[in-house]
Structure 1
Amino acid sequence: MTGQPAPSPAPPAPEPAGGGAQAVARALSLLSLVGRGGSAGSGLAQLAAATGLARPTARRLLLALTEARMVEQDRHTRRYHLGPEAYLLASFAAERHGILHHARDSMLRLARDTGDTVLLTVPQGDHTLCLERIEGDFPVRTHALMRGDRKPAGVGAGALAILAALPVAEADALLQRTAPLTEAMAPGLAPALIEDLARARASGHALNPGRVVPGSWGLGVAILWPDGRPAGALSIAAIDSRMGEARQAELTAMLHHEARLTETRLAALETQPERNIA
């Protein structure tokens, strides 16, 4: 309850089979889940269940992460959040690995020039994650995808653009694996995505004609690493009345331009000389 002192941590459990390496893997799994808890944080029971750990083991590992300042526990809600050291390390990694760091200027330009909502989506296993959302000044907006939302592969214009950039066999297998999830979201969505994917491959951009939320349309273009793999996608979301064919062509050209600029910045990372940090 709010205001009550934190429960005393359980005595250290015996070292699990596998030794220190397994303990590190479990701690990192907990750290990843805490990070995905967003601003609401994550409770101990939730984290233990998600990792399959006993609660005393999860608590012990979280205590170690807290002492390293990678995690912190809100003293009122008792929920766990990423700590200041995690933030600091992420800021160090942003220039090399943070696609948001390299795409933000493009997102701001697109939002300013179109007036619509601009989204950055990144692949995450069989899902995609909305990493950022920047809104333009048009007063009527769509809220089908928010920052931090995680969707099955192919659901949404950015996710579909990422799927279309994958090798055909890989993308088709991914879409087949996630079909039960997409059908649970909306009956008929899984077969519709197969058709949308074929069109995206042919056109070089993805169109979501209100598949998930009626009236909420989106256009997406993949951002590629130098080896051709998708790093993410830029997309524009708007109400259907702002997505006529003529404007679709205009918006798609803008998305391609900004995606190529972001790709150039990502490619430069792989050509930089090694720095002497000794």
Structure 2
Amino acid sequence: MQDPGQLRGAQSVDRALELLSLIGRQSGGGLTLSEVVVRSGLNKATARRLLLALIRAGLIEQDDESRLYHLGKEAFILGLRASGRHGLLKQAMGSLVHLARETGDAAFISVRRGMSSVCLHREEGAYPIRTYALMSGAQHPLGVGAGSLAMLAALPDDEVEDVLQANAAILAADYPHLSPDSIRHHVARTRRDGYALNPGLIFTDSWGIGIALHGPDGGLSGAVSLAAVESRMKEPRRLELVSQLKTEAAKIAERLG
């Protein structure tokens, strides 16, 4: 016979997932607490308790002004990871494995999320000294990190300025050495060189290079990048890595097409 406590716990999980699905079907419109109660059939106290649990997990957010409930950041990231089975991550996985195996360094695939970059996957190389600056699910402002910078540099100038303006506060608070002017400089260098370089700007001994990925319509799809300790990113090896990265980026773009 099942423990009544276990049954209640499973029932709470089922109800919370039902609320998550209910809010997720609103196409960005959001729901009020009253609407959640009516559509779910739960009483107000139970619905509020489950919504708070989902908020703590980052799966649900409540707008401070409208008080509407929307899907949260973690739900978005999970959706990206799931869609990757059939989209960008699926098409890029072979190249990530190849890059990690051939270079010995860590290879990444990232996508844009609004004004930020999210790492979908990290593929480890065999080199024993590793950098852990970027992990799967990690999020940075666009322009912070090699793949993130590659994506920012691929945008039109007016959109670059919109991103820098939107991220000004978080850059000042969390990345004081990466001012908007500094990022503009790195954007110009990326466009000139044809690849993004992060020369230890986030963590001193963690360097990276990145290439933007484009879909069949020419729009930005994401970025592929490599990261290693500084000694493994010096020329001429860095130029060899850039060549390998460009080759695999072209293959990914071809698969996307």
TM range (shorter): 0.7 to 0.9
Q: When the two structures are superposed, what TM-score results if normalisation uses the length of structure 2?
A: 0.73
Task: Return the alpha-carbon distance in structure 2 between the equivalents of residues 159 and 81 of structure 1.
Answer: 21
- Residue 182 of structure 2 aligns to a residue in which SS? helix
Per-residue CA distance 1:87-144 (angstroms, 9 max, x = gap): 9xx57x843xx10000000000100000001011101111110000001000000000
Per-residue CA distance 1:20-55 (angstroms, 9 max, x = gap): x9884289979xxxxxxxxxxx933525972249xx
Q: When the two structures are superposed, what TM-score results if normalisation uses the length of structure 1?
A: 0.67
The answer to whether the aligner puts 1:216 opposite 2:217 as a matched pair is: no
Native 8 Å contact 2:60 2:75 kept in 1:
no
- Residue type of the alignment partner of 2:150: A
Which residue does the alignment assign to 2:46?
A: none
Per-residue CA distance 1:75-98 (angstroms, 9 max, x = gap): xxxxx999xxx99xx57x843xx1
Which residue does the alignment assign to 2:135?
A: 146
- 1:183 positional shift: 2.1
- Residue 141 of structure 1 aligns to a residue in which SS? coil
State the Cα RMSD in Å.
3.5
Query: Where does structure 2 lack aligned partners over 5 or more consecutive residues?
Result: 13-21, 32-51
Give the direction of change, closer, same or farther, for the CA distance of 1:49–1:111 in structure 2 (3 Å limit): closer
Which residue does the alignment assign to 1:276?
A: none
Task: Return the alpha-carbon distance in structure 2 between the equivalents of residues 264 and 177 of structure 1.
Answer: 33
Native 8 Å contact 2:198 2:208 kept in 1:
yes
- Residue 184 of structure 1 aligns to a residue in which SS? helix
Per-residue CA distance 1:187-228 (angstroms, 9 max, x = gap): 121232221111001111000011111110000001111222
- 1:151 positional shift: 0.9
- Percent identity, aligned pairs only? 40
Task: Return the alpha-carbon distance in structure 1 between the equivalents of residues 219 and 27 of structure 2.
Answer: 29
- Residue type of the alignment partner of 2:102: D
Which residue does the alignment assign to 1:44?
A: 54
Which residue does the alignment assign to 1:184?
A: 173
Query: Where does structure 1 lack aligned partners over 5 or more consecutive residues?
Result: 10-20, 31-41, 63-79, 268-278
Native 8 Å contact 1:165 1:229 kept in 2:
no
Give the direction of change, closer, same or farther, for the CA distance of 1:52–1:104 in structure 2 (3 Å limit): same
Equivalent residues in 2 for 1:74-223 (5 A)?
90=82, 94-95=85-86, 98-190=87-179, 191-223=181-213
Task: Return the alpha-carbon distance in structure 2 between the equivalents of residues 23 and 157 of structure 1.
Answer: 32
Task: Return the alpha-carbon distance in structure 2 between the equivalents of residues 192 and 182 of structure 1.
Answer: 11
Give the direction of change, closer, same or farther, for the CA distance of 1:48–1:146 in structure 2 (3 Å limit): closer
Question: How many residues of Structure 1 are paired with residues of Structure 2 in the alignment?
Answer: 214
- Residue type of the alignment partner of 2:231: S
Native 8 Å contact 1:182 1:189 kept in 2:
yes
- Residue 160 of structure 1 aligns to a residue in which SS? helix
Native 8 Å contact 1:122 1:232 kept in 2:
yes
Task: Return the alpha-carbon distance in structure 2 between the equivalents of residues 49 and 168 of structure 1.
Answer: 33
- Residue type of the alignment partner of 1:197: V
Give the direction of change, closer, same or farther, for the CA distance of 1:179–1:245 in structure 2 (3 Å limit): farther
Task: Return the alpha-carbon distance in structure 2 between the equivalents of residues 226 and 23 of structure 1.
Answer: 28
Which residue does the alignment assign to 1:25?
A: 26
Which residue does the alignment assign to 2:224?
A: 234
